[in-house]
Amino acid sequence: MNFHRVRWLLAGPTTLSVASSVHVQLVATDPLCPPVSCCAEQSVEASTRPGCFVHALWTFNYCCSTGPRLDCYRWGEDSPGYDLVVHTAISGVQCRHLCQSHEACVYWTYLVDAPQLPDGLRGQCYLKGDGAVKNPVQAHPFVVSGERICTQFGEGMPRADAAARPGLDVRVQGTLVPWRTAAGSLSAAAAAGYAVLASAGTNQWHVEAAELVRTLGFVVVLDALDPGSVRRLRQSVKGVSDLMLSHDRDRIGNRGPRRYSYGGASQTLHMVHVQEWAGLVDNAAVNAVLPHVFPQGYLAVGGGGDFVLGSTSTYQSLHLDVGGGPIYDLGVPPAVGANFVVDDLTCADAPLRIVVGSHSNPDNPPSLMTEAEDLKASVICPLPAGSVIIRDLRAWHGGTPSGSGKDRYMPNAEYVSLQWGQLTCGTGQILDPCQPVLPKSLYEQMSPLGRAISESIVDRSGMLDHLMRDGEWLRKDFAHFERHQAHVF
């Protein structure tokens, strides 16, 4: 039987549009949602009380549609036609994420896995293209639909808006403060019109750069990599990215739809078993700045970074990359990351955003729904290929939507202070400076400084050489629905 005909048999003859402006409470018909009583208090926090735990794929907003967010999960709404692809899904939340993972999807429809539906329709997720948004109709109660981006969640941005956003301006008492510098010649920076620190290109550039890390939480060095190094690094990260994508046909990602963590896909949680990543740990510009950030010394812990596919439409929630201890009490940052730019980065290319000064704020970052717009606009761009963003890992940061079809790659290296290293050595945490993540063969190619800061992460057993040789470093099941504050959406 024709699928759309089945829909109408279930829905009845009416073709009335569902009015998303009517914010009465609707109870979901997904049998895997918690009891209806869990929706009574109408808050995400209340819904997590005993007996009302909301799984990341059966969230409060999905199971207890109410208020303005009723528009995000429209129970009883359908839009016949415009189908791009059909998936089997286990909830409407998963169907919604699948829509955000598909480059052309603008609207999704999910038929719940309920006994009231025929076997062939249960758990089916229909991703739809242009036109579906304009043709909503009232349907049976076991269907739920929505658009790719729900404004009530504050989670995304249309591609045109992302393409038009400006870069970050930092002002202190009304005065514009540059956040870029350079180790060498300023000719390229001047030609591009970049404002740079006063010491840029002098023999004191690294001292002022470190001061900016302490005060703002980050600094950008425009010439950290020469063109040959950029070319080799880009080729390497592109190869790793393509390998990861070959195991994620639906572009689910492991840091949100179409968004990927390199380290999160690795057996070691790091990528410095790859020669080009090991070279980042030993980068001269970064290691010129870090002694002034960590005057008592520092250690390398590894590196990873991320990549974002073109046409990614969602933000990543603001978050820290370090925690679980006295991160504000040591007198120095516990950890610093160095994110490298391998292509000229415009403000349309899913740049990183960093909240200026947040590295000294002990509060939790706001959710996307409560975040001020100026925080979403704190994007670190434009930047030329070969730049590095050196940032305090306590600084609130997150990924941004893409306004282009261009994939954005940003590998990184990571370091900890000696104080933090003493607290975390042997714990197995991602920033543990005593985990064997660097092959001995690559360690021996490093500079004396690189070897000194990396000695405790060297694998002397040969295990990593085996993993690299057989391609077993990649966790092939890395792709899964993971996003910060997942219970909210």
- Reported as a single tens digit per residue, the pLDDT across 58-93 is 888 888 877 677 889 999 999 999 999 999 999 999
Q: Which two tokens stand for residue 437?
A: 């993540």
Cβ-based neighbour number of residue 370 at 10 Å: 8
At 70 the pLDDT is 81
Instruction: Report d(CA 15, CA 8) in Å as an integer.
Output: 9
Three-state DSSP at 125 gives strand
Residues 6+ apart with CB under 8 A from 162: 313, 348, 350, 400, 401, 402, 403
Question: What's the confidence (pLDDT) of residue 55?
Answer: 77
Question: What integer pLDDT is reported at residue 286 of this predicted model?
Answer: 98
Which distant-in-sequence residues (6+ apart) come within 8 Å of 473 by Cβ? Answer: 266, 267, 268, 273, 464, 467
State how far the Cα of 384 lies from the Cα of 259, in Å rounded to an integer: 22
Alpha helix locations (H) across 102-221? 159-164, 187-192, 205-215
Per-residue pLDDT for 423 more than 80?
yes
CB atoms closer than 10 angstroms to residue 165: 18
Q: What is the pLDDT of residue 48?
A: 62
Answer with the residue of higher pLDDT: 55 or 401.
401
- State how far the alpha carbon of 192 is from the alpha carbons of 104, 223, 343, 346, in Å: 34, 13, 15, 12
Q: How far is CA 15 from CA 24, 67, 137, 362, in A?
A: 20, 24, 5, 52
- pLDDT at position 188 is 74
Q: Are 181 and 220 in contact (CB under 8 A)?
A: yes
Around Cβ 171, how many Cβ atoms within 10 Å? 9
114-118, 210-214, 278-282: range with lowest mean pLDDT: 114-118
Residue 365 has pLDDT above 50, yes or no: yes
Task: State how far the Cα of 245 lies from the Cα of 103, in Å rounded to an integer.
Answer: 14
Instruction: Please report, rounded to a whole number, the percentage of residues in the chain having pLDDT higher than 70.
Output: 90
How far is CA 460 from its chain centroid?
33
DSSP 391-443: EETTS-EE---BSSS--EEEEEEEEEEHHHHHHHTTS--TT-TTS--EEHHHH
Q: Which residue has the higher pLDDT, 303 or 43?
A: 303
Angle between helices 205-215 and 284-293 (to 10 degrees): 60
**Terminal-to-terminal C-alpha distance of the chain:** 34
pLDDT range class, residue 473, cuts 50, 70, 90? very high
CB of 257 closer than 8 Å to CB of 198: no
Is there a contact between 94 and 125 (Cβ–Cβ < 8 Å)?
Answer: yes
Per-residue pLDDT at 469: 74
Per-residue pLDDT for 5 more than 50?
no
For the segment 297-339, what is each residue's pLDDT rounded down to a tens digit? 999 999 999 999 999 999 999 999 998 889 999 999 999 999 9
Residue 176 is predicted with a pLDDT of 86
- pLDDT-based confidence at 376, cuts 50/70/90? very high
On the question of pLDDT at 429 being above 90, the answer is no
The pLDDT > 90 percentage for the chain reads 70
Furthest-apart CA pair in the chain: how many Å? 78
Q: Return the closest-CA partner of residue 89 out of 76, 81, 79, 99.
A: 99
Residue 2: predicted pLDDT: 33
> Which residues contact residue 267 at a Cβ distance below 8 angstroms, ignoring those fewer than 6 apart?
467, 472, 473, 474, 475
Q: Taking the CA atoms of 157, 354, 55 and 46 in sequence, report the sign of the dihedral they define.
A: negative
- Residue-wise pLDDT for 403-419, tens only, equals 999 999 999 999 999 99
Per residue in 11-40, pLDDT (tens digit) is 333 333 333 433 444 567 898 888 877 777
Residues in the chain: 489
Mean pLDDT over 434-453 rounds to 97
Phi, psi at 441, each rounded to 5°: -65, -35
CA–CA distance, 335 with 217 (Å, rounded to integer): 11
| pLDDT exceeds cutoff 60 at 7 | no
What's the pTM?
0.91
pLDDT of residue 27: 61
Q: Please name which of 11, 135, 15 lies closest in space to residue 83, comparing C-alpha atoms.
A: 135
Instruction: Identify the pLDDT of residue 124.
Output: 97
Q: Does the pLDDT at position 51 exceed 80?
A: no
Among 87, 115, 104, 109, which Cα is nearest to 29's? Answer: 115
> 389: which 2 tokens?
């963003």
Answer positive or negative: Cα dihedral of 322, 324, 328, 332: negative
Residue 489 pLDDT? 83
Query: 53 pLDDT band (50/70/90 cuts)?
Result: low
Output the average pLDDT for the chain: 89
8 Å CB contact between 411 and 286? no
